[in-house]
Amino acid sequence: MREALVAAAFQLFLERGYEQTTVDDIVALAGVGRRSFFRYFPSKEDVVFPDHERCLADMTAFLAASDKEHEPVRRACDAARLVLGMYAENPSFSVQRYRLTKQVPGLRAYELSVVWRYERALAEYLRGRFTGRPDGTLRADVIAAAVVAAHNNALRSWLRSDGLGDAGAAVDHALGYVQKTFGRAAEPARAPVFISPAPEGYPDDVVVLVSRRDAPLWRVVQELETALGRA
Protein backbone atom coordinates (compact mmCIF):
# COMPACT_ATOMS: atom_id res chain seq x y z
CA MET A 1 0.00 0.00 0.00
CA ARG A 2 2.84 2.35 0.80
CA GLU A 3 4.38 1.83 -2.63
CA ALA A 4 0.97 2.22 -4.26
CA LEU A 5 0.47 5.58 -2.56
CA VAL A 6 3.88 6.81 -3.69
CA ALA A 7 3.25 5.66 -7.25
CA ALA A 8 -0.19 7.31 -7.34
CA ALA A 9 1.20 10.54 -5.90
CA PHE A 10 3.97 10.84 -8.48
CA GLN A 11 1.66 9.98 -11.33
CA LEU A 12 -0.60 12.86 -10.31
CA PHE A 13 2.31 15.21 -9.64
CA LEU A 14 3.54 14.64 -13.19
CA GLU A 15 0.08 14.96 -14.72
CA ARG A 16 -1.35 17.88 -12.70
CA GLY A 17 1.53 19.40 -10.82
CA TYR A 18 2.40 19.12 -7.16
CA GLU A 19 0.40 22.09 -5.90
CA GLN A 20 -2.72 21.04 -7.82
CA THR A 21 -2.69 17.51 -6.35
CA THR A 22 -4.42 16.88 -3.03
CA VAL A 23 -4.24 13.99 -0.61
CA ASP A 24 -7.81 13.12 -1.61
CA ASP A 25 -6.68 12.85 -5.22
CA ILE A 26 -3.84 10.52 -4.24
CA VAL A 27 -5.96 8.15 -2.15
CA ALA A 28 -8.68 8.09 -4.80
CA LEU A 29 -6.20 6.97 -7.46
CA ALA A 30 -4.60 4.45 -5.10
CA GLY A 31 -8.03 3.13 -4.10
CA VAL A 32 -7.58 3.59 -0.34
CA GLY A 33 -8.95 5.93 2.33
CA ARG A 34 -7.40 9.07 3.84
CA ARG A 35 -6.66 7.21 7.08
CA SER A 36 -4.52 4.76 5.13
CA PHE A 37 -2.51 7.63 3.65
CA PHE A 38 -1.79 9.24 7.00
CA ARG A 39 -0.88 5.89 8.49
CA TYR A 40 2.17 5.96 6.24
CA PHE A 41 2.80 9.64 5.61
CA PRO A 42 2.26 12.58 8.00
CA SER A 43 1.87 15.02 5.10
CA LYS A 44 1.87 15.33 1.33
CA GLU A 45 5.52 16.41 1.48
CA ASP A 46 6.48 13.14 3.14
CA VAL A 47 5.20 11.08 0.21
CA VAL A 48 7.88 12.76 -1.92
CA PHE A 49 10.62 11.57 0.44
CA PRO A 50 9.29 8.16 1.52
CA ASP A 51 12.60 6.54 2.47
CA HIS A 52 14.46 9.25 4.34
CA GLU A 53 13.21 8.28 7.79
CA ARG A 54 14.42 4.72 7.27
CA CYS A 55 17.72 5.91 5.88
CA LEU A 56 18.27 8.32 8.78
CA ALA A 57 17.55 5.49 11.23
CA ASP A 58 20.01 3.25 9.37
CA MET A 59 22.68 5.96 9.47
CA THR A 60 22.14 6.57 13.18
CA ALA A 61 22.42 2.85 13.91
CA PHE A 62 25.54 2.57 11.73
CA LEU A 63 27.26 5.38 13.62
CA ALA A 64 26.14 4.03 17.00
CA ALA A 65 27.76 0.70 16.14
CA SER A 66 31.15 2.39 15.66
CA ASP A 67 34.05 1.73 17.99
CA LYS A 68 37.39 3.38 18.66
CA GLU A 69 39.09 1.37 15.94
CA HIS A 70 37.06 3.17 13.27
CA GLU A 71 38.75 6.29 11.93
CA PRO A 72 36.01 8.89 12.58
CA VAL A 73 36.15 10.86 9.32
CA ARG A 74 36.13 7.70 7.23
CA ARG A 75 33.26 6.35 9.32
CA ALA A 76 31.25 9.53 8.71
CA CYS A 77 31.92 9.24 4.97
CA ASP A 78 30.80 5.61 5.00
CA ALA A 79 27.60 6.68 6.77
CA ALA A 80 26.92 9.19 3.99
CA ARG A 81 27.23 6.38 1.44
CA LEU A 82 24.10 4.85 2.97
CA VAL A 83 22.18 7.87 1.66
CA LEU A 84 23.60 7.34 -1.81
CA GLY A 85 22.49 3.71 -1.63
CA MET A 86 18.92 4.86 -1.00
CA TYR A 87 18.95 7.04 -4.13
CA ALA A 88 20.70 4.43 -6.26
CA GLU A 89 18.10 1.76 -5.42
CA ASN A 90 15.64 3.42 -7.81
CA PRO A 91 17.39 5.89 -10.16
CA SER A 92 14.28 6.79 -12.19
CA PHE A 93 12.30 7.65 -9.06
CA SER A 94 15.22 9.63 -7.65
CA VAL A 95 15.53 11.64 -10.87
CA GLN A 96 11.79 12.34 -10.90
CA ARG A 97 11.92 13.53 -7.31
CA TYR A 98 14.93 15.75 -8.04
CA ARG A 99 13.10 17.44 -10.92
CA LEU A 100 9.95 17.88 -8.84
CA THR A 101 11.86 19.31 -5.88
CA LYS A 102 13.54 21.89 -8.12
CA GLN A 103 10.11 23.11 -9.25
CA VAL A 104 8.40 23.41 -5.85
CA PRO A 105 9.87 25.83 -3.28
CA GLY A 106 8.09 24.09 -0.41
CA LEU A 107 9.72 20.79 -1.31
CA ARG A 108 13.15 22.41 -1.52
CA ALA A 109 12.66 23.74 2.00
CA TYR A 110 11.54 20.30 3.17
CA GLU A 111 14.57 18.69 1.55
CA LEU A 112 16.88 21.15 3.32
CA SER A 113 15.36 20.15 6.65
CA VAL A 114 16.04 16.49 5.83
CA VAL A 115 19.64 17.25 4.87
CA TRP A 116 20.09 19.15 8.13
CA ARG A 117 19.02 16.06 10.10
CA TYR A 118 21.63 13.94 8.33
CA GLU A 119 24.26 16.56 9.07
CA ARG A 120 23.28 16.70 12.75
CA ALA A 121 23.54 12.91 13.03
CA LEU A 122 27.06 13.03 11.62
CA ALA A 123 28.04 15.97 13.83
CA GLU A 124 26.80 14.28 16.99
CA TYR A 125 28.85 11.18 16.21
CA LEU A 126 31.98 13.21 15.47
CA ARG A 127 31.55 15.35 18.58
CA GLY A 128 31.62 12.18 20.63
CA ARG A 129 34.81 11.03 18.91
CA PHE A 130 36.53 14.40 19.27
CA THR A 131 35.62 14.97 22.91
CA GLY A 132 38.55 16.44 24.80
CA ARG A 133 40.38 17.67 21.70
CA PRO A 134 41.00 21.37 21.28
CA ASP A 135 38.23 22.72 19.03
CA GLY A 136 36.66 19.26 19.04
CA THR A 137 33.12 20.57 18.59
CA LEU A 138 34.18 22.98 15.86
CA ARG A 139 36.05 20.23 14.04
CA ALA A 140 33.08 17.89 14.29
CA ASP A 141 30.62 20.44 12.89
CA VAL A 142 32.93 21.49 10.05
CA ILE A 143 33.62 17.90 8.99
CA ALA A 144 29.93 16.94 9.16
CA ALA A 145 29.06 19.88 6.91
CA ALA A 146 31.89 18.96 4.53
CA VAL A 147 30.74 15.33 4.28
CA VAL A 148 27.19 16.40 3.45
CA ALA A 149 28.36 19.05 0.96
CA ALA A 150 30.68 16.63 -0.86
CA HIS A 151 28.05 13.87 -0.97
CA ASN A 152 25.34 16.20 -2.24
CA ASN A 153 27.61 17.76 -4.86
CA ALA A 154 28.27 14.36 -6.43
CA LEU A 155 24.71 13.12 -5.94
CA ARG A 156 23.14 16.14 -7.62
CA SER A 157 25.56 15.93 -10.54
CA TRP A 158 24.43 12.34 -11.03
CA LEU A 159 20.75 13.31 -10.77
CA ARG A 160 21.22 16.13 -13.29
CA SER A 161 22.63 13.55 -15.71
CA ASP A 162 19.30 11.65 -15.43
CA GLY A 163 20.91 8.98 -13.27
CA LEU A 164 23.47 7.97 -15.87
CA GLY A 165 27.01 7.01 -15.00
CA ASP A 166 28.48 5.56 -11.83
CA ALA A 167 27.02 7.43 -8.87
CA GLY A 168 29.14 5.44 -6.44
CA ALA A 169 32.39 6.44 -8.13
CA ALA A 170 31.38 10.10 -8.15
CA VAL A 171 30.49 10.08 -4.46
CA ASP A 172 33.65 8.14 -3.58
CA HIS A 173 35.72 10.79 -5.35
CA ALA A 174 33.97 13.62 -3.50
CA LEU A 175 34.18 11.94 -0.10
CA GLY A 176 37.81 11.05 -0.76
CA TYR A 177 38.52 14.76 -0.87
CA VAL A 178 36.99 15.13 2.59
CA GLN A 179 39.01 12.22 3.95
CA LYS A 180 42.26 13.61 2.55
CA THR A 181 41.51 17.03 4.01
CA PHE A 182 40.26 16.06 7.46
CA GLY A 183 41.10 12.40 8.00
CA ARG A 184 43.85 10.89 10.07
CA ALA A 185 46.26 10.89 7.14
CA ALA A 186 45.82 14.66 6.85
CA GLU A 187 46.81 15.31 10.44
CA PRO A 188 50.41 16.27 11.16
CA ALA A 189 52.59 13.40 12.25
CA ARG A 190 52.84 12.94 15.96
CA ALA A 191 55.42 15.38 17.19
CA PRO A 192 58.64 13.56 18.06
CA VAL A 193 59.60 14.41 21.61
CA PHE A 194 62.97 14.24 23.23
CA ILE A 195 63.21 14.92 26.92
CA SER A 196 66.69 15.68 28.14
CA PRO A 197 68.04 16.25 31.65
CA ALA A 198 68.27 19.82 32.81
CA PRO A 199 71.26 21.62 31.24
CA GLU A 200 74.04 22.55 33.55
CA GLY A 201 73.19 25.59 35.58
CA TYR A 202 69.40 25.06 35.36
CA PRO A 203 67.11 23.71 38.08
CA ASP A 204 66.54 19.96 38.08
CA ASP A 205 62.86 20.35 37.15
CA VAL A 206 63.70 21.94 33.78
CA VAL A 207 63.31 19.74 30.69
CA VAL A 208 64.13 20.27 27.03
CA LEU A 209 61.52 19.29 24.45
CA VAL A 210 62.29 18.80 20.76
CA SER A 211 59.33 18.78 18.37
CA ARG A 212 58.51 19.21 14.68
CA ARG A 213 58.20 22.84 13.69
CA ASP A 214 54.86 22.21 11.94
CA ALA A 215 53.30 20.29 14.82
CA PRO A 216 50.16 22.03 16.19
CA LEU A 217 50.42 23.40 19.69
CA TRP A 218 47.82 21.04 21.10
CA ARG A 219 49.85 18.09 19.79
CA VAL A 220 53.05 19.41 21.40
CA VAL A 221 51.29 19.85 24.74
CA GLN A 222 49.81 16.36 24.47
CA GLU A 223 53.22 14.85 23.76
CA LEU A 224 54.83 16.79 26.57
CA GLU A 225 52.22 15.64 29.06
CA THR A 226 52.71 12.05 27.90
CA ALA A 227 56.49 12.28 28.11
CA LEU A 228 56.43 13.82 31.57
CA GLY A 229 53.99 11.18 32.70
CA ARG A 230 56.49 8.51 31.70
CA ALA A 231 59.39 10.29 33.38
Task: Indicate which CATH number applies to the domain containing 2.
Answer: 1.10.10.60
Residue 227's CB: how many other CB atoms inside 10 A?
A: 14
Residues 152, 85 within the same domain: yes
H/E stretch holding 208:
strand 208-209
207 pLDDT higher than 90: no
Residue 174 maps to which CATH number? 1.10.357.10
- DSSP three-state, residue 196: strand
Residues 43, 106 within the same domain: no
Looking at residue 201, its pLDDT comes to 64
Number of domains composing the chain: 3
pLDDT tens across 125-157, in order? 999 999 988 899 999 999 999 999 999 999 999
Residues 98, 148 within the same domain: yes
Residues 77, 168 within the same domain: yes
Distance CA 137, CA 42 (A): 34
- Name the pLDDT band for 231 (thresholds 50, 70, 90): very low
Mean pLDDT calculated for residue range 152-181: 94
Residues 31, 134 within the same domain: no
Looking at residue 189, its pLDDT comes to 45
Looking at residue 219, its pLDDT comes to 66
Mean pLDDT calculated for residue range 182-199: 58
Distance CA 147, CA 177 (A): 9
Residues 113, 138 within the same domain: yes
Residue 39 · residue 27 · CB < 8 Å: no
Residues 143, 55 within the same domain: yes
Distance CA 10, CA 228 (A): 66
Looking at residue 1, its pLDDT comes to 87
Distance CA 168, CA 60 (A): 21
Residues 10, 119 within the same domain: no
Amino acid at 177: Y
Domain interval for residue 203 = 195-230
Residues 4, 67 within the same domain: no
Residues 174, 156 within the same domain: yes
Residues 94, 81 within the same domain: yes
Residues 115, 181 within the same domain: yes
Torsion of CA 193, 198, 201, 204, to 10 degrees: 140
- DSSP three-state, residue 219: helix
pLDDT tens across 43-86, in order? 998 999 988 999 999 999 999 999 989 999 999 999 999 999 99
